[in-house]
């Protein structure tokens, strides 16, 4: 009998929390647990001093570079001779209490602990609900929006991957991506003089906003001198309760016109919406806290999207790298309220290249590498099965070829952009997309205006191409900091997830793919001449790599998107590439002696 959705969701909650605990709090010690009915189980053991307790977790799916897969769990109290089995959520709560004992103290820490526990339970409930839906009707849609709807388990290394505070279950049916809900946009009429806008393209932001509304744009009841501001319905409802908006509405300067246009559906981020026939997507602020951040568009991000669209149009990069494309955010639109940095109307207008047949086979890396549904293969394994139906050596060869083509689409262009232009991208799993319509990777995409890092060393050249970047806060960084963050987003979060997925699916050992990655990086280091060369060398040779401290950020109850330059959101982890090379070198010396 297959496990229930609740049991699978509980195990998933433990897996995501325990992997964060392993990486950020305590790596534990490897042990073997003696079983009465079989061989000893390979485990990790944590001593929880504040709880006077030890936890053992069976490692059923070990990983050199990704998340560990856990099985049975046992606990033993101090001085107690016998191990007792324990359910995942009980073990998770013990780890949570120990984590707070180590990193915080006092009444504030206790309040944070209870808040985090509530979000963990919220995430667990949402995961169980989505599992029920997915198992009743597994998602076989291989289009762009089909992959966006497939993230049942959420972020693979986050303590609250499916937490959505501020979004009720009935709202999720319409506004969440997983149930294919669709809705029209809410439209406000605003005096043109109160609108802030910019566009890097031939169409102005107000014209693009009308494009979003399709044929309905012609029947909007606009008065002379008014412009239309389309808005996500959730955000529109929240804005109606804001005093500054209520005052403008009472004065007749802002009017809510109603729902217009085609029906949009949420992408994986929830706040970016997509319609298959629209030439544009839109990214809105939402009154919802997802994982650990309230999702708000900052004005500097709107400016950055337009500036980067201009910069990329001028630097010729896309012509040199046709296997990669940045999905641009070339325009924005918002209501200007004096004395406020943001009014709540901030809207990013994003091009939509995934339409007219081009949406087929476009998948976010997060969907390709996600933990599979019980009884089903992962999306990546399903692709490899189709490419190599014979299995065995045929599939091994196909997997290595697939991985090499993937690096052509995602590793090579991103490092070349940094090396040649001083621009790095926050290309984590959810913001990286791959065209696998033919099974084999043939083009990579990057999306999102929150994740650009411009090199201080390249500032003079970049300012010649896009002088407006000088006035946008949070764009320029020292190369040492860019190297750290690019190592996390591109290598640890994205490439390692592909390696770990193939390893845990039993397709190919992780060590083989880590070797392939190391060889590719070595070849790149020999031909790169700029910032990319130092970056690649650091990834190959550094004993540690940067990783995101998702658990520690949550333990502090900190909104990572509101934490200034974000430096406190990161920490170091052991580098598996360096560790593997050191182990092989040591083995070689031992053989030689």
Phi/psi at 440 (5° precision): -80, 140
Phi-psi region of 375 (alpha: psi -120 to 50; beta: other; left: phi over 0): left
Mean pLDDT for the stretch of residues 410-431:
97
The domains of the chain are located at: 5-136, 169-351, 369-592
**Stronger pLDDT, 564 or 308, i.e. the higher one:** 308
The SS3 of residue 293 is strand
> pLDDT tens-digit profile of 150-196?
999 988 889 999 999 899 989 999 999 988 899 999 999 999 999 99
Q: Tens digit of pLDDT for each residue in 233-287?
A: 999 999 999 999 999 999 999 999 999 999 999 999 999 999 999 999 999 999 9
Contact 179, 172 (CB under 8 A): yes
Write down the pLDDT at residue 557. 83
- pLDDT tens readout for residues 18-72: 999 999 999 999 999 988 778 899 999 999 999 999 999 999 999 999 999 999 9
Closest listed residue to residue 537, CA positions, set 549, 526, 545, 525? 525
Average pLDDT, the chain: 93
Residue 81 pLDDT exceeds 70 = yes
């139906």: which residue's tokens? Answer: 389
Averaged pLDDT, 426-446: 97
Instruction: Provide the pLDDT for residue 563.
Output: 56
pLDDT digits (tens, 9 = 90+) for 439-481: 999 999 999 978 899 999 999 999 999 999 999 999 999 999 9
What is the CATH architecture assignment of 369-592?
Answer: Orthogonal Bundle (1.10)
Would you say residue 322 has pLDDT above 80? yes
pLDDT of res. 565: 61
Task: Tell me which residue of 437, 276, 434, 433 sits closest to 361, measured CA to CA.
Answer: 437
Two structure tokens written together for 75: 């606990």
Give me 186's structure tokens: 């809410």
Q: Which helix (H) or strand (E) holds 209?
A: helix 205-212
Q: Which residue has the tokens 């070349």?
A: 416
Cα 430 from Cα 269, distance rounded (Å)? 8
For residue 489, what pLDDT band results from cuts at 50, 70 and 90? Answer: very high
Tell me if residue 390 falls in helix, strand or coil.
Answer: coil
Cα 493 from Cα 550, distance rounded (Å): 12
Mean local confidence (pLDDT), 322-335: 97
Per cent of the chain over pLDDT 70 is 96
Higher pLDDT, 108 or 158: 158
Joined tokens for residue 228: 């239309």
Provide mean pLDDT across the span 378-407.
Answer: 96
Handedness of CA 584, 548, 422, 328 (dihedral sign): positive
Question: What's the confidence (pLDDT) of residue 139?
Answer: 67
Examine the pLDDT at 400 and tell me if it is beyond 60.
yes
pLDDT 10s digits, 503-561:
999 999 999 999 999 999 999 999 999 999 999 999 999 999 999 999 999 898 887 66
Question: Strands (DSSP E) along 417-574, which ranges?
Answer: 423-425, 432-435, 443-446, 452-455, 476-477, 544-548, 570-574
pLDDT band at 562 (very low <50, low <70, confident <90, very high): low
Angle at CA of residue 182, ends 176 and 185, nearest 5°: 100
pLDDT at 384 over 70: yes
pTM here is 0.95
Under the banding of pLDDT at 50, 70 and 90, the label for residue 593 is low
For helices 479-486 and 531-541, the axis angle rounded to 10 degrees is 50
* Angle of helix 392-421 versus helix 531-541 axis, rounded to 10: 140
Percent pLDDT > 90 in the chain is: 83
């Amino acid at each position: 009998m297959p496990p229930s959705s609740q049991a699978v969701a509980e195990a998933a909650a433990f897996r995501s929390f325990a992997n964060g605990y392993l990486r950020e709090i305590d790596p534990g010690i490897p042990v073997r647990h003696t079983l009465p009915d079989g061989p000893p189980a390979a485990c990790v053991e944590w001593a929880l001093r504040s709880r006077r307790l030890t936890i053992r977790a069976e490692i059923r799916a070990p990983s050199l570079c990704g998340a560990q897969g856990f099985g049975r769990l046992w606990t033993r109290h101090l001085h107690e001779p016998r191990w007792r089995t324990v359910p995942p959520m009980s073990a998770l709560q013990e780890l949570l209490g120990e984590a707070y004992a180590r990193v915080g103290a006092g009444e504030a820490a206790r309040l944070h602990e209870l808040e985090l526990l509530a979000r963990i339970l919220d995430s667990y409930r949402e995961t169980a609900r989505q599992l029920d839906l997915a198992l009743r009707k597994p998602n076989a849609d291989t289009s762009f929006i089909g992959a966006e709807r497939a993230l049942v388990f959420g972020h693979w290394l986050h303590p609250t991957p499916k937490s959505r505070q501020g979004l009720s279950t009935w709202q999720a049916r319409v506004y969440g991506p997983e149930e294919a809900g669709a809705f029209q946009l809410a439209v406000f009429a605003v005096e043109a003089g109160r609108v802030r806008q910019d566009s890097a393209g031939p169409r102005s932001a107000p014209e693009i906003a009308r494009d979003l509304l399709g044929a309905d744009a012609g029947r909007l009841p606009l008065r002379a001198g008014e412009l239309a501001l389309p808005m996500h319905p959730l955000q529109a409802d929240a804005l109606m309760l804001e005093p500054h908006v209520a005052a403008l509405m009472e004065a007749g300067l802002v009017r809510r016109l109603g729902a217009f246009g085609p029906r949009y559906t949420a992408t994986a981020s929830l706040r970016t919406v997509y319609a298959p026939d629209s030439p544009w997507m839109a990214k809105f602020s939402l009154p919802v806290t997802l994982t650990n951040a309230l999702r708000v568009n900052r004005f500097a991000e709107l400016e950055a999207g337009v500036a980067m669209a201009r910069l990329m149009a001028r630097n010729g990069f896309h012509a040199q790298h046709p296997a990669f494309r940045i999905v641009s955010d070339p325009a924005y639109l918002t209501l200007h309220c004096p004395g406020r940095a943001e009014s709540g109307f901030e809207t990013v207008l994003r091009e939509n290249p995934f339409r007219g047949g081009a949406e087929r086979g476009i998948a976010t890396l997060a969907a390709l590498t996600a933990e599979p549904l019980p009884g089903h293969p992962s999306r990546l394994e399903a692709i490899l099965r189709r490419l190599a139906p014979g299995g065995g050596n045929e599939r091994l060869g196909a997997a290595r070829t697939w991985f090499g083509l993937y690096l052509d689409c995602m590793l090579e262009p991103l490092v070349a952009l940094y090396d040649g232009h001083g621009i790095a991208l926050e290309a984590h799993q959810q913001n990286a997309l791959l065209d696998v319509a033919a099974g084999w990777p043939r083009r990579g995409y990057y999306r999102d205006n929150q994740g650009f890092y411009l090199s201080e060393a390249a500032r003079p050249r970049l300012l010649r191409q896009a002088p407006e970047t000088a006035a946008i806060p949070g764009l320029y960084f020292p190369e040492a900091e860019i190297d750290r963050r690019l190592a996390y987003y591109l290598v640890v979060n994205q490439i390692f997830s592909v390696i770990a997925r193939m390893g845990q699916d039993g397709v190919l050992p992780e060590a083989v793919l880590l070797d392939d990655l190391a060889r590719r990086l070595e070849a790149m280091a020999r031909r790169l001449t700029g910032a990319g060369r130092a970056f690649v060398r650091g990834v190959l040779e550094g004993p540690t790599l940067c990783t995101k401290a998702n658990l520690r950020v949550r333990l502090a109850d900190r909104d990572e998107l509101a934490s200034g330059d974000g430096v406190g959101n990161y920490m170091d982890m052991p580098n598996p590439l360096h560790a593997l090379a050191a182990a092989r070198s040591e083995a070689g010396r031992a053989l030689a002696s």
